[in-house]
Amino acid sequence: MVKIKVENLTKIFGRPPRTVLKKLQEGISKEKLLAETGHTIGVNNVSFDVHEGETFVIMGLSGSGKSTLIRCLNLLNRPTAGKIYVDGENITAYNKAALKQYRKDKVAMVFQHFGLFTHRTVINNIEYGLEVKGIPKKERNEIAAGILSTVGLQGWEDKYPNELSGGMQQRVGLARALANDPDILLMDEPFSALDPLIRRDMQFELIEIQAKLKKTIVFITHDINEAFKLGDRVAVMKDGNIEQIDTPENILTSPASEYIKEFVKDIDRTRVLQAQHIMFTPSALVTPRDGLKVAVKEMQKNGISSLFAVNNARILQGLVTIDDAIRAINENLTLENILNHEYHTTGPETYVKDLIPLASESKYPIAVVNEDNKLLGIIVRVSVLSSLLA
């Protein structure tokens, strides 16, 4: 379901901005427009959808227009042209009262530099939006206490911002945004002021919170690794335009332009590609009902020396090797008697970087299974190692 729909959005800085729209539509460059008129293009005819519950990341270098764009989504920046639909309503047509209600109830923003009130305690900072909405003190205190637990700040309720680390201050900022229970969370480079270790912790914190709360998140960053780690889809901006919107793996493997190709060339692919991207359907499987001779025949036909055994629901039972199968036939054993369980399994979303040590030490393919132990595919050593060179 589409939560946010942006249509032909343009934001021009300078007075009066609409007077230069025609020049922009005729294809004048950002530099030439600035030189001739003094107007600056923030966002240029951008269109995209954000799905409900999605983490949609907008990334780009400084001056690409990403922060200008996100501020259009709550109308901190008034678009020069275009429309923004949220739940089917064009918010660019809102009057002051409707806009105030939209900002109070539907959307919240987390800023780069925290924006905390230094004279308020942690709990009072988190309660602020609820206080503005007129929620009674006891109720807002209960809500804020629950959010404290969500962001891992239990025990810090009565501290002031200057008593917290940068990462903890950003947790307060995130908690304050979440306290209003908004449908949409706008995050403008929220972790860029943090040191690398705290930044990494906050990224994982956000992933865990999103897994529980399923908010619609629009996240701004200039860091491609952060974008690919957090984003269900990523939009890459340049000079106010969107160069490509796609999943991280598709941007990496199928760049839409030379700019994108140059942009992603130095990224660590093992931190983007997952097990589901390099696994393949096994050429042969066997069920316990098939028996040993069928297992041997399948291995011989496919030129392999081991295969996985599954039941009729494709639930993984174990692994059969050619040596064990032949021995079992000679000793009148059954296939169940010789099932081997000394192999590695992984989930479909495991990153390739975490598969490298498994692949390097394993004699057998890695089995990719879901939470019910259903076999989804297998990964052979060459698939893991070759992904380093792709």
Both 315 and 243 in a single domain? no
pLDDT tens-digit series, residues 234-251: 999 999 999 999 999 899
Average pLDDT over residues 226-235: 92
Both 323 and 234 in a single domain? no
153 inside domain = no
Query: What pLDDT shows up at residue 161?
Result: 87
In total, how many domains does the chain have?
A: 2
CA distances from 350 to 118, 135, 367 (A): 41, 43, 12
**Whether the Cβ atoms of residue 90 and residue 29 lie closer than 8 Å to each other:** no
What's the CA gap between 279 and 368, in Å, rounded? 7
Q: How confident is the model at residue 336 (pLDDT cuts 50, 70, 90)?
A: very high
Both 193 and 321 in a single domain? no
Of the listed ranges 17-26, 46-55, 242-251, the least confidently predicted one is 17-26
Listed residues 267, 299, 332: the one ending a domain: 267
Question: Domain holding 238: CATH number?
Answer: 3.40.50.300
Q: Which helix (H) or strand (E) holds 55?
A: strand 55-59
State the average pLDDT for the chain. Answer: 90
Q: Which domain holds residue 305?
A: 276-386
Both 347 and 210 in a single domain? no
Question: Domain holding 285: CATH number?
Answer: 3.10.580.10
CA of residue 143 relative to chain centroid, distance: 27
189 inside domain = yes
32 inside domain = yes
Both 330 and 255 in a single domain? no
Both 87 and 190 in a single domain? yes
Listed residues 267, 286, 303: the one ending a domain: 267
12 inside domain = yes
CA of residue 288 relative to chain centroid, distance: 40
Both 282 and 341 in a single domain? yes
Average pLDDT over residues 255-264: 90
168 inside domain = no
Listed residues 267, 297, 328: the one ending a domain: 267
Both 283 and 259 in a single domain? no
pLDDT tens-digit series, residues 162-206: 888 888 888 888 888 888 889 999 999 988 878 887 888 888 888
The set of residues, in sequence order, having a beta carbon less than 8 Å from that of 371 and lying 6+ positions away, is 347
Both 81 and 201 in a single domain? yes
pTM for this prediction: 0.78
Pick the residue with more confidence: 293 or 199? 293
Q: How confident is the model at residue 268 (pLDDT cuts 50, 70, 90)?
A: confident
Pick the residue with more confidence: 339 or 249? 339
126 inside domain = no
What's the residue count for the chain? 390
Both 101 and 199 in a single domain? yes
237 inside domain = yes
Both 89 and 199 in a single domain? yes
Q: How confident is the model at residue 140 (pLDDT cuts 50, 70, 90)?
A: confident
Both 73 and 186 in a single domain? yes
H-state helical runs in 254-320:
258-264, 275-278, 292-302
116 inside domain = no
